A = this chain, B = another copy of it.
Amino acid sequence: MEHQSSELIFRRLGIHSQQEHFVYMREDCHVCSSEGFEALTRIRVNYKSRSIIASLNIIRTDILNPGEISLSESAIHSLGIRDGETLRVSHLHPIQSLSHVRSKIYGNKFSADELDEIITDIVDGNYSSIHLSAFITACAGHRLDTKEIISLTKAMISSGQQIHWNKDIIVDKHCIGGLPGNRTTPIVVSILTAFGLTMPKTSSRAITSPAGTADTMEVMTRVTLNMDEIKKVVEQENGCIVWGGTAQLSPADDILIRVEKALDIDSEGQLIASVLSKKASAGSNHVIIDMPIGETAKLRSIDSANKLKSEIEKVADVVGLKLKVLITDGTQPVGKGIGPVLEARDILSVLRNEKTAPQDLKERSLMLSAELLELSGKVAVGLGMTQAKLILESGKAYQKFVAICEAQGEFKEPQIKGHKRVISAGNSGKVIRIDNRKLAKVAKLAGAPFNKNSGIDFFSPIGKDVMKGQALYEIYAESKGSLEYALEYLHSQQDILTIQNH
């Protein structure tokens, strides 16, 4: 006996399907026969005056009773519905902007209006992962020209909130591609704000890497602040280092980036639009871009880096950002720690000018700070490094860091704990190559960043001579299960580090 009404009672099942909305309906509901079981059907789900689009999954057991319907967690959050309330489902009319995506696939250029419509639909949750993937693929491989990249960047800025600061100069930095342990941001923010410039840094949590700046900072302070709190901290300390999620900056970027990572594809145009839309939305106007290059980094060659540099500078100029790109070394991890607590330890060690502080992390942070000081126009060209060193080595940067943390809510000393496993050299020789991606993956599978203590303590840089059996790095894991999971992966890989026999 088919359930006849398009109105059903909602019951939460608790299924978190990440960003795509799903609707769960019993097989015997007439909507299922109308919409069909065979196609990858999307339907419209209506609740009071709200409405979302969701992909249909069919329930064949009694986890739902006749007349009941369920939704994935993101869909519930979007509609704000509670158990026992009534939903109505209706047929989904074609999403107009998808015809623009098809037009691009057939070889046409995107107009600014078309990109606006596409980005609006993406932010509204109207694109399934299939549609997002098609859009990303259609833009990849240099298929966006400069004009289109500019339009995409502007559309992404308009798709969310924009923060306005009442200062002329707002400095910012970004690193393209994750280099394990390259946690320079907290040190750079401390130096720049101690100098007197304004650096309201909003950062993300890691998606596929073992830590993002927000994850690492969360070890030492609060990072989830609302806009009022953020503004207060910046007012007081010239800066902050917080999670950007509450600010709703370039929300299309957050949606697209997850699919791009699942595809693992380079889309230069989208990369530029992603970075610049986030910076412009954050109200920044002077931006340093750190671009590490290396065989296992995001940018593989000096040629591809220079092409990207040239394109991003063009677009930055049009959207009103004063931007400088720095091409740096991406062949190995930076610092010793990979993972939130271990990176936090390194950051404090550099800020406190400890003798055992990782020098490469210190040098890179100073270099980026120097360039940013000079880019702001407030320090003469050539004097940035001296100024940065002074601020760091005098202890002023550390004082500022603690002040920022306390303004954000607290300053906590990181505690390192958990299960450990030393990974040793299988042969004697010299470390000649490090696979950054695989090393980062070991740290991630050990539980980082979700488990803050998980990660890797790394002490075998390129050029180091090691003896067979000598410790190369140490894996930290909060749970035995995660440690085993990481080791299972590690043992399946030959070349995380390459040690060449003498």
Q: Which residues of A contact B (CB under 8 A)?
A: 2-6, 12-19, 24, 27, 30-40, 42, 57-63, 72-73, 90-91, 93-94, 98, 102, 105-107, 128-134, 136-138, 140-142, 205-208, 258-259, 261-266, 444-447, 450-451, 478-482, 484-486, 488-489, 492
How long is the Cα–Cα vector from A63 to B11 in the complex, in angstroms?
Answer: 12
B40 touching A262 by the CB < 8 A rule? yes
| In the complex, the 8 A-B pairs of residues with the closest C-beta atoms, listed nearest first | A14-B61, A30-B481, A4-B481, A133-B133, A137-B137, A14-B60, A33-B450, A40-B262
Chain B residue nearest to A98 in the complex (CB): B264
Chain B residue nearest to A29 in the complex (CB): B481
Contact of A61 among B13, B107, B265, B444 (CB under 8 A): B13
- Can you pick out 26 interface pairs between chain A and chain B where the beta carbons lie within 8 Å of each other? A2-B479, A14-B61, A14-B62, A18-B37, A18-B40, A18-B57, A30-B485, A31-B481, A33-B451, A33-B478, A34-B447, A34-B486, A36-B206, A36-B207, A37-B450, A38-B206, A57-B72, A90-B488, A91-B488, A94-B264, A98-B264, A102-B264, A130-B133, A130-B259, A133-B133, A133-B134
Chain B residue nearest to A265 in the complex (CB): B102
How long is the Cα–Cα vector from A207 to B72 in the complex, in angstroms?
Answer: 25
Q: Given A16-B57, A265-B134, A259 and B40 touching (CB < 8 A)?
A: yes
Contact of A5 among B131, B136, B207, B481 (CB under 8 A): B481
B263 touching A130 by the CB < 8 A rule? yes
B451 touching A59 by the CB < 8 A rule? no
In the assembled complex, how far is the CB of residue A97 from the closest CB belonging to chain B, in whole angstroms?
A: 13
**Other 6 A-B pairs with CB < 8 A, given A18-B57, A36-B208:** A2-B479, A4-B480, A6-B484, A94-B264, A98-B263, A131-B133
In the assembled complex, how far is the CB of residue A202 from the closest CB belonging to chain B, in whole angstroms?
A: 17
A18: B residues at CB distance < 8 A: 37-40, 57
In the assembled complex, how far is the CB of residue A144 from the closest CB belonging to chain B, in whole angstroms?
A: 13
Contact of A105 among B2, B3, B137, B206 (CB under 8 A): B137
In the assembled complex, how far is the CB of residue A42 from the closest CB belonging to chain B, in whole angstroms?
A: 8
Residue with the greatest number of chain B CB neighbours at <10 A, chosen from A6, A102, A261: A102
Chain B residue nearest to A484 in the complex (CB): B6
How long is the Cα–Cα vector from A39 to B106 in the complex, in angstroms?
Answer: 30
Chain B residue nearest to A91 in the complex (CB): B489
How long is the Cα–Cα vector from A105 to B19 in the complex, in angstroms?
Answer: 25
Q: Given A2-B479, A140-B105, A261 and B39 touching (CB < 8 A)?
A: yes
A258 touching B138 by the CB < 8 A rule? no
Residue with the greatest number of chain B CB neighbours at <10 A, chosen from A132, A208, A450: A450
How long is the Cα–Cα vector from A33 to B136 in the complex, in angstroms?
Answer: 28
How long is the Cα–Cα vector from A98 to B133 in the complex, in angstroms?
Answer: 14
Q: Given A130-B259, A137-B134, A444 and B264 touching (CB < 8 A)?
A: no
A60: B residues at CB distance < 8 A: 14-16, 73
Q: Given A40-B258, A262-B40, A34 and B445 touching (CB < 8 A)?
A: yes
How long is the Cα–Cα vector from A136 to B263 in the complex, in angstroms?
Answer: 13
B12 touching A58 by the CB < 8 A rule? no
Chain B residue nearest to A89 in the complex (CB): B485
A485 touching B31 by the CB < 8 A rule? yes
A207: B residues at CB distance < 8 A: 36, 38-39
A90: B residues at CB distance < 8 A: 485, 488
Q: Given A445-B34, A450-B37, A485 and B16 touching (CB < 8 A)?
A: no
A447 touching B33 by the CB < 8 A rule? yes
A208: B residues at CB distance < 8 A: 36, 38-39
How long is the Cα–Cα vector from A63 to B73 in the complex, in angstroms?
Answer: 14
B17 touching A57 by the CB < 8 A rule? yes
B59 touching A16 by the CB < 8 A rule? yes
B265 touching A105 by the CB < 8 A rule? yes
A63 touching B14 by the CB < 8 A rule? yes
A133: B residues at CB distance < 8 A: 129-131, 133-134, 137
A5: B residues at CB distance < 8 A: 481
In the assembled complex, how far is the CB of residue A266 from the closest CB belonging to chain B, in whole angstroms?
A: 8
In the assembled complex, how far is the CB of residue A383 from the closest CB belonging to chain B, in whole angstroms?
A: 41
Contact of A59 among B14, B35, B131, B138 (CB under 8 A): B14
Contact of A15 among B24, B39, B261, B447 (CB under 8 A): B24
In the assembled complex, how far is the CB of residue A210 from the closest CB belonging to chain B, in whole angstroms?
A: 10
A263: B residues at CB distance < 8 A: 98, 102, 130-131, 134
How long is the Cα–Cα vector from A72 to B61 in the complex, in angstroms?
Answer: 12
A138: B residues at CB distance < 8 A: 137
How long is the Cα–Cα vector from A450 to B41 in the complex, in angstroms?
Answer: 14
A16 touching B27 by the CB < 8 A rule? yes
